[in-house]
Structure 1
């Protein structure tokens, strides 16, 4: 079997350090003999690796094979974008899989920007900052809601579509195993990759779409108020400090404006925190938010005590975990829309229709859809 000898060992070592793994772990997870890797790294002999082995390493690190054949050392700044470095600095403990996830999101944005520049129609939206005053959160949220042209009743999908229409890509992780899933053990709820002409928001798929709505608007707050990339876990969604406090307040006021609170009767509030969900169910359903978001807004308005809110939090934490068994993927062709959103999928399909990209390219951009599923997706968008 032909072997590759001109491998740059420094690049393998650098990638291991970047991912926080040992050479032994790299070998074990890619079914490569440790001795073979150690010989390459030490330059003891010229045995090299097979193309298949090097391809496994490249795929594991999210790189191309040529990356490991180029001469010279590399630096963090050369490989990772400023937005990626911002997230890595905020959460140094990011897992290797999540780092790859972030890089894939950046790659998808690059695909979208390329398609947007090539398309003849010019219908794909471009982001322009609305005029907001960042130090007046309630007013900023009110203006943002007007900018998004939101009706009184909403869901996660309608919030997402409104944001996408303003030139911001909104991705959501997949609930199925694969490269677009955020691991169940990860605490990350969402992140933002800021870019002047096309920011990206990523929301983790959760059992409750209402919780996703808050994450979505929290990340939008980072874009509109702070104009920066950010990555957030559950503690950030509850933070009362700095930019996270601002993003939380922004999300709360945007999702539940002051005038919405007038629809809630304090006299009807049950004495038992376990009944708060039922009490607020009509509003939660109409506004596409969780009961917790409404309770936090009521607490801000001094209509709910901290002890009542804490009792609700304690009760909700003790709820049984949902059944995680995955259903059959009956509608595989719709998954790219759920993951990448309306704007991205339409850009790919329009480019395919104009013959600017091949079927294989379209498939690779849409989570590896097979030809039959790609045809079904086209029919779905055509209303057939």
Structure 2
């Protein structure tokens, strides 16, 4: 990583940690006890985000080309709608929701963020946005404090994946 990438990563980590602390306080729990749904519930309640599970056919009512779509965020000045493919594995759904939340938090000037399986059509800026949303999703799914606590308890890798609801 170069200096700019390290600075951006640190900025993303700070934003993720702020949200984690806020959600933990709101839920009256330790940050290491947070799960992905605590974060999505908080944002649904506080920021007018609606999570919408859709299958492949339902996606076609929103966008014309739905090949390989995991999720997308649609927003306007009043609310945001995060749609995710409910035909994917649960762990993929968790990542997609946190990825789209990453777009919502980080890329406020853009209106819509399709998250496609194949990134061939992404512009250079889109690729940066996707990488940022991926990093944010990872940080929100498995926060540093929780990972460290589980590692200190010598929990195996598969345990961590199950604990956080993520794929190995």
Aligned partner of residue 214 in structure 1, secondary structure = helix
CA RMSD, aligned part only? 3.3
Question: For structure 2, which runs of at least 5 residues remain unmatched after alignment?
Answer: 1-7, 61-65
Taking structure 2 as the reference length, the TM-score comes to 0.68
The change in CA–CA distance for 1:135 and 1:233 in structure 2 (over 3 A counts) is same
How big is each residue's C-alpha offset from its partner over 1:172-205, in whole Å with a ceiling of 9 and x where there is no partner?
1148xxx5366xx821111011223201111111
Q: Which one of the candidate residues 239, 256, 265 is aligned to 2:142?
A: 256
Q: 1:21-32 residue pairs with structure 2 within 5 A?
A: none
The Cα shift of 1:158 comes to 4.8
Greater percentage in strand: 2
Per the alignment, residue 91 of structure 2 pairs with 210
Aligned residue pairs, count: 141
1:140 to 2, 8, 15: 15
Tell me the equivalent position of 1:283. Answer: 160
> Contact 1:159–1:213 at 8 Å: present in 2 too?
no
Is the contact between residue 134 and residue 140 of structure 1 (CA under 8 Å) also seen in structure 2?
no
Aligned position for 1:233? 116
Partner deviation per Cα, 1:249-275 (whole Å, 9 max, x = no partner): 11111112222332237x98xxxxxxx
Q: Which 4+ runs in 1 deviate beyond 4 A? A: none
Residue pair 2:70, 2:88 contacting (<8 A) in 1 also: no
Note if 1:180 corresponds to 2:58: yes
Greater length-normalized contact order (CA 8 Å, ≥ 6 residues apart): 2
Measure, in 2, the Cα distance between the counterparts of 1:165 and 1:139. 22
Superposition deviation, residue 288 in structure 1: 2.0
TM-score w.r.t. structure 1 length?
Answer: 0.32
Which residues in structure 2 correspond to 1:106-185 (within 5 Å)?
136-149=11-24, 152-154=33-35, 158-166=38-46, 167-174=48-55, 180=58
Q: Structure 1 unaligned runs (5+)?
A: 1-132, 269-278, 292-384
Partner Cα distance (1:217, 1:198) in 2: 17
